[in-house]
Structure 1
Amino acid sequence: MNKWLWDQVNSIYERLLSEEVTGTPTHVAVIQDGNRRYARQQGDEAHQGHRAGVQTTEQVLEWCYQIGIKELTLYTFSTENFKRPDKENEPLFDLLCEKLREFADSEQVHEKEVQIRVIGAINRLPERVQNAITYTTTQTQDYNQFVLNIALAYGGRSQLLKAARNIAEDVEAGDIRPEAIDIGMIENKLYERPIRDVDLIIRTGGGERTSNFLPWHANGNEAAVFFSTPYWPEFSKKDFLRGIRTYEHRQNSWKRTRARRALALLHSLKTQELPKARAIATQFQHSLPVSERSDKNNPATTDSAETTTD
């Protein structure tokens, strides 16, 4: 198939996918995998693959704006990446400095009020990268229309361990009581500013694992996961929309499951539990096939199934 025809097919498919998108995730997290393999495929050095990947990052930001996503987290450099040779990491650190400052000074970033944050063990990064991080986060710290989290020197379990130790220190100091520890407290200890629960994880490059990425916010929220074959520099809007569609299917499946469970329980619940079950069934039954929805004789929608006592 010649390139012109292939581009036309992709354009039509992309348009169809765009029309199918009816629900938008609030927070998407992306594992940008495949930059180095892309570079090797092109006969280039690893850092050239990372530079090609930055162009995809800028495109993904625009796609997020277009469909109404509010938060994007990019897994850019893990704690494991420190094991790579300096000749590979140093050009990447230079690229990070360049692009962080470029984002901070971008008219588009300021027009769209993008708040840029960096999460991870920042103190392990070279000083020049830390300075670029400080500049970028300071320039955008007052914005709240869109949040871009960049995970650098990041490890999900390391973040959880750090939070647990901080809480243990507060307990030992008598600042908090063990019984006062709750979800909100842990989330406040994980990052300087709150991060929304992750609705969708996208991983490029063909890998089928989430690599210790945002375990508290993704696993705890049962996030949908989309594994995409193209390397990050090759990741297209078509691939992105397919990921969004995966999220929608996951949400619809979850709603159907909730509705079916609620309807199944209605006939065996105690009287005082019926109102809650009815509310769940009513809220989600629209996601079921018509044949499974309750009718006027179903206790989910009538008062006759509820017994009252004086």
Structure 2
Amino acid sequence: MLQWARRRFASAYEQMLRREVGNGPDHVAIIQDGNRRYARKSGDDVSEGHREGVKTTEQVLNWCDELGVEELTLYTFSTENFDRPEDQLEALFDLIESKLYEFADADRVHDGEVRISAIGEVELLPDRLQEAVEYAEDRTREYDGFRLNIALAYGGRAELLGAARDVCRAVERGDLSPEDIGVEEIDRRLYRQPARDVDLIIRTGGDERTSNFLPWHANGNEAAVYFCAPYWPEFSKADFLRGLRTYESREKSWQRTRSERAVALVRAVAETELAEARTVAGRLREQLSSTGAQQVTAELERQGEEIAD
């Protein structure tokens, strides 16, 4: 009975959150933190935490499809993760490799026309993992129904540093003029890129930092950020919806601020013009009849009332 009540409550809560979300973001990026801590809490091997985390990933793909998210980027393996013990690395590489092959052959991927891409310094990964990446990308290259980006051997600072060095080399060779360096030049020198800028970053596991994740595509787009406590294997649909609600609230606030600034700008311009008009009208009144002066005064008052409104 208690479990039934909890399920009913969870379902009702999800429905409430769904009504608050609206259209939601196009591109969500997730830092899947807490797999190892989840395993330790459960008394399991670290690799078991990662296997449980994969189940969450599969659920998130379902939620994205249901809620209209068009692109998902998962921070799966950072450049800092190479410092982990060798046995943990091998187990993680095994899991990523097998899941890349599995996803690339899954009916749901092909039915939904999901394009799988890896972003990061993939060349640093073991050959077998590079081959799995190539297989998944080749199998889904022509699809455009949904974009799934797997960040592997990824580091945002290294990405920007590499782009900056590439630009410097191009200028040194004479292939690029400093005056021609713009957003497009940086864009095309980054890692294999997401299709869209990031609208929302979600981080699980309790830490409130974005860990050098997609600085160009997220920070440059002023992406919303949602931090939550559950470890990645515990991440629920309600957590996902709360993240989308954070984006929705931030977007409404941002649009409201833009509107308020626009109104203030228009009002400032109008008030400046009205002040100038009053100066001119004062000079005209000296040259007009009493009736004409009254008409000018009435028109100025009308303009002032419109600005006040």
Q: TM-score range by the shorter chain?
A: 0.7 to 0.9
Q: Which residue of 2 aligns with 1:203?
A: 203
Question: For residues 272 and 166 of structure 1, do their structure 2 counterparts lie closer, same or farther at Cα, with a shift above 3 Å needed?
Answer: farther
Q: Which residue of 2 aligns with 1:79?
A: 79
Q: Which residue of 2 aligns with 1:105?
A: 105
Question: For residues 194 and 202 of structure 1, do their structure 2 counterparts lie closer, same or farther at Cα, with a shift above 3 Å needed?
Answer: closer
* 2:123 is the alignment partner of 1:123: yes
* 2:48 is the alignment partner of 1:48: yes
Q: Aligned partners of 2:205 and 2:97: how far apart in 1?
A: 25
Question: For residues 300 and 17 of structure 1, do their structure 2 counterparts lie closer, same or farther at Cα, with a shift above 3 Å needed?
Answer: farther
Deviation track 1:208-260 (CA, whole Å, cap 9, x = no partner) reads 00000000111111111111111100101011001000000000000111111
Q: Which residue of 1 aligns with 2:230?
A: 230
- Secondary structure of 2:69's partner? coil
Deviation track 1:16-58 (CA, whole Å, cap 9, x = no partner) reads 1112221220110000001001101111011100000000001
Q: Aligned partners of 1:15 and 1:4: how far apart in 2?
A: 17
Aligned runs of 1:106-185 on 2, under 5 Å?
106-185=106-185
Q: Which residue of 2 aligns with 1:260?
A: 260
Deviation track 1:147-185 (CA, whole Å, cap 9, x = no partner) reads 111001110000001111111111111111111111011
> In the TM superposition, what is the alpha-carbon distance from 1:98 to its structure 2 partner?
0.3
> In the TM superposition, what is the alpha-carbon distance from 1:299 to its structure 2 partner?
5.2
Contact 2:74 2:149 in 1 (8 A): yes
TM-score by length of structure 2 reads 0.86
State the percentage of identical aligned residues. 59
- Secondary structure of 1:19's partner? helix
> In the TM superposition, what is the alpha-carbon distance from 1:76 to its structure 2 partner?
0.5
Contact 2:124 2:153 in 1 (8 A): yes
Question: For residues 38 and 298 of structure 1, do their structure 2 counterparts lie closer, same or farther at Cα, with a shift above 3 Å needed?
Answer: farther
Q: Aligned partners of 1:38 and 1:154: how far apart in 2?
A: 23
Q: CA RMSD in A?
A: 2.0
Q: Aligned partners of 1:272 and 1:248: how far apart in 2?
A: 36
Question: For residues 107 and 2 of structure 1, do their structure 2 counterparts lie closer, same or farther at Cα, with a shift above 3 Å needed?
Answer: same
Q: Which residue of 2 aligns with 1:187?
A: 187
Deviation track 1:55-107 (CA, whole Å, cap 9, x = no partner) reads 00011011111111111000011111111101111100000010000010011
Higher-helix-fraction structure: 2
Q: Aligned partners of 1:171 and 1:271: how far apart in 2?
A: 49
Q: Aligned partners of 1:271 and 1:143: how far apart in 2?
A: 54
Deviation track 1:254-283 (CA, whole Å, cap 9, x = no partner) reads 01111111112223238999xxxxxxxxxx
Moved over 6 A (4+): 270-273
* 2:39 is the alignment partner of 1:27: no
What number of residue pairs does the alignment pair up? Answer: 279
Question: For residues 194 and 246 of structure 1, do their structure 2 counterparts lie closer, same or farther at Cα, with a shift above 3 Å needed?
Answer: closer
Q: Aligned partners of 1:272 and 1:239: how far apart in 2?
A: 50
Contact 1:263 1:300 in 2 (8 A): no
Q: Which residue of 1 aligns with 2:96?
A: 96
> In the TM superposition, what is the alpha-carbon distance from 1:297 to its structure 2 partner?
5.7
> In the TM superposition, what is the alpha-carbon distance from 1:145 to its structure 2 partner?
1.3
Q: Aligned partners of 2:194 and 2:227: how far apart in 1?
A: 26
> In the TM superposition, what is the alpha-carbon distance from 1:4 to its structure 2 partner?
2.5
Could you list the runs of 5+ residues in structure 1 that have no partner in the other structure? 274-295, 302-310
Q: Which residue of 1 aligns with 2:215?
A: 215
Question: For residues 103 and 267 of structure 1, do their structure 2 counterparts lie closer, same or farther at Cα, with a shift above 3 Å needed?
Answer: same
Question: For residues 185 and 211 of structure 1, do their structure 2 counterparts lie closer, same or farther at Cα, with a shift above 3 Å needed?
Answer: same
Question: For residues 38 and 263 of structure 1, do their structure 2 counterparts lie closer, same or farther at Cα, with a shift above 3 Å needed?
Answer: same
Could you list the runs of 5+ residues in structure 2 that have no partner in the other structure? 274-303
- Secondary structure of 1:189's partner? coil
Question: For residues 298 and 118 of structure 1, do their structure 2 counterparts lie closer, same or farther at Cα, with a shift above 3 Å needed?
Answer: farther
TM-score by length of structure 1 reads 0.86
Q: Aligned partners of 2:91 and 2:106: how far apart in 1?
A: 22
Q: Aligned partners of 2:174 and 2:30: how far apart in 1?
A: 39
